[in-house]
Amino acid sequence: MQMLVLTLFPDMFDAFWSHGIMRKAVEQGSIVAAAMNIRDFALDRHHVTDDRPYGGGSGMVMKPEPLAAAIRAARERAPAARTILMSPQGRVFDQTIAREMASLPAMILVCGRYEGVDERLSRDLISDELSIGDYVLTGGEVAAMVVIDAVTRLIPGVLGGADSAERDSFSNGLLEHPHYTRPPVFEGAAVPDVLLTGHHRNIERWRLEASLMRTFVNRPDLLQERKRTDEETDILRRWQAELDQLLGERLEKTTLGCE
């Protein structure tokens, strides 16, 4: 996938492209990535990219002309690209959007600075606005890195194990189970016994239950919309029975009692 970033700070991306999985993805050609400097497309003598807001107020607004010229130049390099503005006003990025984006041939990510970009630009030259969450950054660069990172690792061939992206948090709608490595006891805390048994079916069951428990405690919202497997329903029913017993409730009163 071709990834072009339009930014006033292209150097911020040098370290990003050149480490770990991102670096490997670039080296093996899974992604072709470049940051283009919006300032290079400001045609006035001082390459000005911002100006004061019409109507007054604090802060500066990104001028439309340099951004429009930069987007058009990026589109020449990547004609099939979607042009995405990083913005707190956008759709909130998640793993589902990352998965959709991983099959795109190309994307152009536009990073705003200052108070925002001139509205007339977004109308004509931007296909989507994407937010990474409900907070304000000093600019869209870090948000663009978040999106590029999450999308890149979903491109086939980027991650080592054939199934490692499939097993992550969110790929099945649950948070991940806990992970352990050596030593078997660390500062008095032991690794759960089942993980040392080599009994793969039991380990899978333990992991599923731990995933469900974490999701139930930390992110119950994720359990709301999601379809459950029969095995997951069995685990939840068992918890329900154990809680009922703990609370001293009569079995007849619960759905479990209905035969």
Q: Which residues contribute to the site for ligand 4FL (CB under 6 A)?
A: 86-88, 112, 131-133, 136-137, 139-140, 143
Residue 154 CB, nearest approach to ligand 4FL (Å): 19
We find the least distance from the C-beta atom of residue 91 to ligand 4FL, in angstroms, to be 10
Measured from the CB atom, the residue of 31 and 86 that comes closer to ligand 4FL is 86
Q: Which is nearer to ligand 4FL, 141 or 232 (CB)?
A: 141
Find the catalytic residue in 113, 153, 209, 232. Answer: 153
- Cβ distance to ligand 4FL smaller for residue 139 or 178: 139
153 is catalytic: yes
How many other CB atoms are found less than 10 A from the CB of residue 161?
8
Are the CB atoms for 109 and 147 separated by under 8 Å? Answer: yes
Angle between helices 230-246 and 200-218 (to 10 degrees): 70
Give least dist CB 25 to ligand 4FL, A.
Answer: 22
**Residue with structure tokens 């599923």?**
208
Distances (CA, A) of 109 to 125, 126, 141, 142: 12, 10, 9, 11
* Contact present, 219 and 211 (Cβ < 8 Å): no
CA-to-CA distance for 170 and 223, rounded, in angstroms?
11
* Pairing of β 2-7 and β 128-131: unpaired
Active-site residue 88, yes or no?
A: yes
User: Which residue, 59 or 192, is less far from ligand 4FL as judged by CB?
Assistant: 59
129 is catalytic: no
Q: Which of 53, 65, 88, 214 is catalytic?
A: 88
Q: Which of 115, 128, 129, 244 is catalytic?
A: 115
Query: What's the half-sphere exposure (Cβ side, CA atoms, 13 Å) at 186?
Result: 7
- Nearest distance from C-beta of residue 218 to ligand 4FL, angstroms: 22
Residues with active-site annotation: 88, 115, 153, 168
